[in-house]
Structure 1
Amino acid sequence: MGAHGDGFPPSKILFIKVNNSQLVKDRILKFQHYCNSIVYQKGDLFVTSGTALFKYKLSDTCTLVSKLHEDKSDKYTVSRCAVSPTGDKLYITSPYEHKLLTLAKDGSILATFMDPAVKFLTGLHVTSAGQVIVCGWDSKNIIQVDSKGSMKLATLATQRDGLKGPYSVCYNRITDSIIVGQFRHKKILVYKVK
């Protein structure tokens, strides 16, 4: 068991830097909790552990600032995290509870999004324009939610578009496309945004 009793072993985060067009190991951070996802913004490192969201200050060292959110009602309640471009909102997916939470910087809940058409929310991305994109793994869809995290704006892709197990998502503004990683499927899908 992890040190926080979350059922997972402690984890490490490996930092890699590009040096003369080569990927080089930089440093390793060790945590006393499982690390499911990480997001970095302006010196802050946000780490999800499956049941909690932690905030660390990252400089030459990595210092725990606070546990911003915790939900031990199930074993997989805090999956992925994303931060708004202004840094005033944090978004986390809760797969077992089929919801997206929007948090303030202090961890207080601002909004909860649930939709019966979106099940087992996993992958999450916030674009530089503040658009929130979420994967529904069980429902095999990708949706866009408003920046408040309270309502669905659009369905971006479904099983009819080739989705089988969407698990991670990212918007590439240079190519104007959505890139989707799938769980247990060997294809990365790229959708051109119209």
Structure 2
Amino acid sequence: MCSIDSSLVAVITFKSSNIYFIRVTNGRLVQDRALNLQHDCSGIAHHHRNLYITSGTALYQYSLDGTLLRKLYDDTTGLLKGSSCAVNHDGERIYVASNKSRDFQLVTLSRDGIVISKLTDRALFWVEQFPPGLHVTDSGQVLVCCQFSKIIFQIDRDGRMKLAEVVRSTNKEPLSVFFSKRTGSLIMGMSDNNNIKVFKAQ
């Protein structure tokens, strides 16, 4: 899921080719419209009226009306289908997180799809059917989590190294992560239940 504006989000269902736009109207969630793409989707991000979609080994750029603009990246050397993506605030960095030979891999791209760096880490292992959680904060911090690692890591802007453990969950398996600058809260979605955990930044 990704935010389009203050009242509209775009949602994909994993391993489906559909994108659903959901709007908040009078305090209720209402489906606005839907797009059907020519490939499965596993990750989605939005920046300046462009949608970035991961599908298997590839990263695509679309307009909001569903027009394919270009394929930005493709790595056919062993990536599985559980990939996700995120874009930083100024659009200069695009991140693709995936699973390569059972290791976590984060690929950092320029806005033109040029590879800036690749970070591989076995500590961030997860299974194919669940894409890794990936989020870029307003200040440019890259946050990642994977189901079996039970840790949310901060990674540097160029995707070259882990900087810190932000949260370690002892008995829960995080699937998604989001930081709200407005509330100063880290929000974590879980894989083993329907609860959302909220942490206050320190």
Alignment partners' CA distance in 1, 2:82 and 2:16: 16
Indicate yes or no: 2:193 matched with 1:185.
Answer: yes
Q: TM-score, normalised by structure 1?
A: 0.85
1:37-56 matched pairs, under 5 angstroms: 37-56=43-62
- 3-state DSSP class of the match of 1:117? helix
Change (3 A) 1:184 1:72: farther
1:1-194 matched pairs, under 5 angstroms: 11-58=17-64, 61-74=65-78, 76=80, 79-95=83-99, 96-120=102-126, 122-160=132-170, 162=171, 164-194=172-202
Deviations 1:12-56 (A, max 9, x none): 111112233332221110011111121111111101113211101
Alignment partners' CA distance in 1, 2:36 and 2:124: 34
Q: Please state how far the C-alpha of 1:77 moved relative to its aligned partner.
A: 5.2
- 3-state DSSP class of the match of 2:39? coil
Counting matched residue pairs gives 183
Alignment partners' CA distance in 2, 1:117 and 1:10: 28
Alignment partners' CA distance in 2, 1:137 and 1:112: 20
Moved more, 73-82 or 28-37: 73-82
Unaligned runs of 5+ in 1: 1-7
Q: CA RMSD in A?
A: 2.0
Contact 1:77–1:93 (CA under 8 A) maintained in structure 2: no
Unaligned runs of 5+ in 2: 1-13
Contact 1:79–1:93 (CA under 8 A) maintained in structure 2: yes
Contact 1:166–1:183 (CA under 8 A) maintained in structure 2: yes
- 3-state DSSP class of the match of 1:56? strand
